[in-house]
């Protein structure tokens, strides 16, 4: 999509790349965004917001202080909230999920590059009220929350504990005499740490704390806690709150710390859709503990969606730059070639283009599963087994997608050489977001182990011929097979995907055998799990990767039923590239558990290289079809016009140090030093 300055002459190399396009870019874009209505809406929203003067920075924010970045980010966040709310209200579509969809999918992070301090309000605070609040509590709090009369965050992680929820130290003690709950932070490590928007933005918070009543601890429960006066915004008595400081990324999100000293809230401020606390202090357990997964599943699905978008944006930047930049000769005496003509550069970037598509299709698939699950939970109280299945799956997908995206963004930066190191390339912003995602909402290794715990349980069920859920049904094919039988290898895409399921199943079998051996040797179950953790993590990762490959294949097959022959070819090769790339990274497991030979491996490598060469002429057109405006990419290297060097100079001139010919430090430090040297 051309930028607002599309009248500028396009770099000749980049235009030549576009002239090679073998497919209809608009058709690709319609498929990518989900149809004509979605594309029309997306472009309309982008055009509207790009034209708003409130989003223009006179000086790029990477030159601003920590305090200034937050203040500008909050200013933009309130503008976005006000304008998106009105747009959605006019269409009768205003709710938390639609707001987050517009923020993440339609608007992207381009409008607030350093992060939106209101994001957690809509992505976690409001969904927590919906997911954990009783009907009465929802009627009391949802409308004020949606209208931002009350602005909230979600405080779970503590200074001393993160993913290990059972270790949280914040206490919520029921005082039967006053019918109140008393919130306390008994130690410094009990302070809440990291919640987005917490420091200066919000006035309420969903606090996860250990509930005590009648002398017993009932585990972690959610509580709605007021933090600041609604008129003055001053912290309430007993609330110790502030900013945790500068970070690698998300500099505008206003992450905070929070401590409590005898904060009293009504008993009815405990969210009681699932668990309940009665007037006499009796605790009523939820029907199932898995109901607490709902909000986490929602947020992790959003994370996978966001990772696909971030990887696609950085791939767009690096592919465009690689077609403008000329570096080195392939044949001696010939002119320098476009960097993307080097096979090594193609191998760096084109699999990432394909991976971003695979992650997006997987996220769409899981989002549909989540939506259907929500209907089942809300309509008939069913779906508990599906919730456990989806929770285990999304744990793995969150870990795979964030790891691959953070790694991929760094590959994109390195592929742009020295210019990729500049802040105006915008790789740092995207990397900060992706690498943060590897730890928030569950540290990735811990999430893999949660998936592995489910897979071990399911493997034992499969060995007992019990019915399995759809995403793990493939395990049943191996639980009763002879262990020595190797999967018959072929490099067709469906067979490679089946091979990933085969190596996942066999590695799970081996890990379960090792678990049992260690328990028989005298280790407790927990000790045996710890000693088998490396195997279990790999199994959980492979489970996620197998699902990504199968989702990509299935959804591209579905798209190909209605796509033009030209687009079918491009989508088919993109799918092949993802599958071959994953297979080449797993050759050790494939050689161990399938009939793959060295000859097969050589042939797979050649098919991988062939896919690169087929996609090379269409590379720019594919990333163009992602339809990211220049404003959203925010990169001097990746603009639609390809005028990289002119834009780099333009960005350099914006530096505050270039606004005066002589900096004051000359008179203060350099000149005295030079004079002393003459003495």
Question: Phi/psi at 283 (nearest 5 deg)?
Answer: -100, 130
Residue pair 102/122 in contact (Cβ under 8 Å)? The answer is no
Place of tokens 């020295």: 418
Q: What angle do CA 549, 586, 534 make, to 5 degrees?
A: 105
CA 675/CA 368 separation, integer angstroms: 72
Q: Is the dihedral of CA 574, 578, 579, 581 positive or negative?
A: positive
Q: Comparing C-alpha atoms, which of 358, 349, 626, 610 is closest to residue 491?
A: 610
Residues facing 182 on adjacent strands: 173, 264
Burial of 470 (0-12, 13-18, 19+ CB in 10 A): exposed
* DSSP 8-class letter at 273: S
Q: Which residues contact 418 (CB under 8 A, 6 or more apart)?
A: none
DSSP-derived secondary structure for 531-558: HTHHHHHHHHHHHHHHHHHHHHHHHHHH
The span from the CA of 587 to the CA of 564, in Å, is: 34
Helix/strand/coil for 208: strand
Of 17, 46, 158, 441, the active-site residue reads: 441
Structure tokens at 570: 């491009």
284 SS3 class: strand
CB-based contacts of 468: which residues, under 8 Å, 6+ apart? 458, 461, 462, 475, 476
CA atoms of 273 and 133, how far apart (whole Å) = 5
- Beta carbons within 10 angstroms of residue 166's beta carbon: 8
Q: Which residue has 């898995």 as its token pair?
A: 290
Query: What dihedral angle (degrees, nearest 10) is formed by the CA atoms of 582, 584, 587, 589?
Result: 0
Q: How many CA atoms lie within 13 A of 80 on its CB side?
A: 29
Distances (CA, A) of 202 to 80, 258, 264, 519: 17, 12, 19, 49
Query: Would you state the structure tokens that stand for residue 363, as one six-digit string?
Result: 């996220």
Identify whether the C-beta of residue 469 lies closer than 8 Å to the C-beta of residue 385.
Answer: yes
Distance separating alpha carbons of residues 213 and 267, to the nearest angstrom? 11
Written as one string, the DSSP assignment of 148-173 is TSS-EEEE--BSS-SS-GGG---EEE
What residues contact 669, with CB distance under 8 A and at least 6 apart?
Answer: none
Q: What CA–CA distance (Å, rounded) separates 493 from 457?
A: 29
Outline where 493-532 has alpha helix (H). 493-520, 525-531
Q: What share of the chain is helix, strand, coil (3-state, %, to 5)?
A: 60, 10, 30
Cβ(328)–Cβ(342) below 8 Å? yes
**582 catalytic residue (yes or no):** no
Name, in order, each residue with C-beta under 8 angstroms of 148's C-beta and a sequence gap of 6 or more: 81, 118, 121
State how far the Cα of 655 lies from the Cα of 163, in Å rounded to an integer: 40
Quick one: which H or E segment has residue 224?
strand 216-226
Active site residues: 441
């Amino acid at each position: 999509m051309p930028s607002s300055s599309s009248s500028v002459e396009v770099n000749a190399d980049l235009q030549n790349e576009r002239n090679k396009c073998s497919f209809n870019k608009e058709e690709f874009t319609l498929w990518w965004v989900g149809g004509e209505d979605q594309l029309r809406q997306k472009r309309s929203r982008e055009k509207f917001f790009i034209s708003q003067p409130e989003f223009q920075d006179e000086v790029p924010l990477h030159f601003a202080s920590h305090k200034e970045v937050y203040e500008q980010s909050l200013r933009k966040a309130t503008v976005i909230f006000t304008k998106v709310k009105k747009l959605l209200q006019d269409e009768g579509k205003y709710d938390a999920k639609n707001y987050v969809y517009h923020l993440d999918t339609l608007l992207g992070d381009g409008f607030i590059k350093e992060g939106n301090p209101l994001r957690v309000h809509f992505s976690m605070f409001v969904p927590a009220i919906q997911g954990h609040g009783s009907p009465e509590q929802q009627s009391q709090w949802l409308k004020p929350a949606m209208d931002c009369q009350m602005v909230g965050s979600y405080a779970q992680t503590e200074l001393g504990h993160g993913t290990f929820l059972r270790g949280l130290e914040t206490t919520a003690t029921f005082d039967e005499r006053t019918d109140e709950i008393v919130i306390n932070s008994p130690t410094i490590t009990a302070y809440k740490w990291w919640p987005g928007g917490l420091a200066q933005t919000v006035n309420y918070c969903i606090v996860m704390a250990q509930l005590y009543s009648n002398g017993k601890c009932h585990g972690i429960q959610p509580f709605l806690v007021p933090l600041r006066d609604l008129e003055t915004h001053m912290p309430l008595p007993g609330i110790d709150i502030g900013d945790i400081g500068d970070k690698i990324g998300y500099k505008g999100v206003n992450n905070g710390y929070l401590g409590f000293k005898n904060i009293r809230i009504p008993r009815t401020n405990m969210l009681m859709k699932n668990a309940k606390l009665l007037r006499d202090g009796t605790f009523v357990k939820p029907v199932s503990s898995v109901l607490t997964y709902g909000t986490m599943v929602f947020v992790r699905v959003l994370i996978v969606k966001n990772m696909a978008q971030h990887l696609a944006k950085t791939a767009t930047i690096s592919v465009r730059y690689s077609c403008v930049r000329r570096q080195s000769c392939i044949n001696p005496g010939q002119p320098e070639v476009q960097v993307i003509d080097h096979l090594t550069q193609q191998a760096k970037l084109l699999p990432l283009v394909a991976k971003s598509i695979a992650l997006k299709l997987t996220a769409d698939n899981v989002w549909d599963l989540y939506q259907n699950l929500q209907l089942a939970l809300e309509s008939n109280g069913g779906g508990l087994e599906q919730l456990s299945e989806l929770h285990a799956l999304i744990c793995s997908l969150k870990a795979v997608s964030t790891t691959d995206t953070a790694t991929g963004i760094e590959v994109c930066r390195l592929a742009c050489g020295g210019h990729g190191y500049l802040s105006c390339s915008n790789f740092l912003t995207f990397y900060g977001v992706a690498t943060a995602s590897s730890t928030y909402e569950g540290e990735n290794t811990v999430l893999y182990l949660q998936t592995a715990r489910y897979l071990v349980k399911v493997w034992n069920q499969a060995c007992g011929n019990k019915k399995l859920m759809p995403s793990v049904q493939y395990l049943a094919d191996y639980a009763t097979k002879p262990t020595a039988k190797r999967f018959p290898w072929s490099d067709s895409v469906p067979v490679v995907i089946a091979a990933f399921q085969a190596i996942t199943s066999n590695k799970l079998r081996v890990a379960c055998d090792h678990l049992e051996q260690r328990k028989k040797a005298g280790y407790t179950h927990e000790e045996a799990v710890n000693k088998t953790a490396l195997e279990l993590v790999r199994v959980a990762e492979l489970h996620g990767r197998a699902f990504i490959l199968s989702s990509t294949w299935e959804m591209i097959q579905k798209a190909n039923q209605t796509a033009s022959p030209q687009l079918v070819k491009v989508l088919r090769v993109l799918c092949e590239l993802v599958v071959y790339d994953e297979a080449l990274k797993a050759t050790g497991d494939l050689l161990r558990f399938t009939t793959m030979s060295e000859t097969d491996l050589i042939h797979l490598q050649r098919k991988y290289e062939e896919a690169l060469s087929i996609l090379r002429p269409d590379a720019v057109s594919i990333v163009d079809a992602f339809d990211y405006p220049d404003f959203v990419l925010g990169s001097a290297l990746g603009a639609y016009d390809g005028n990289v060097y002119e834009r780099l100079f333009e960005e350099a001139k914006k530096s505050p140090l270039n606004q005066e010919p002589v900096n004051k430090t000359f008179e203060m430090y350099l000149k005295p030093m030079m004079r002393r040297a003459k003495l």
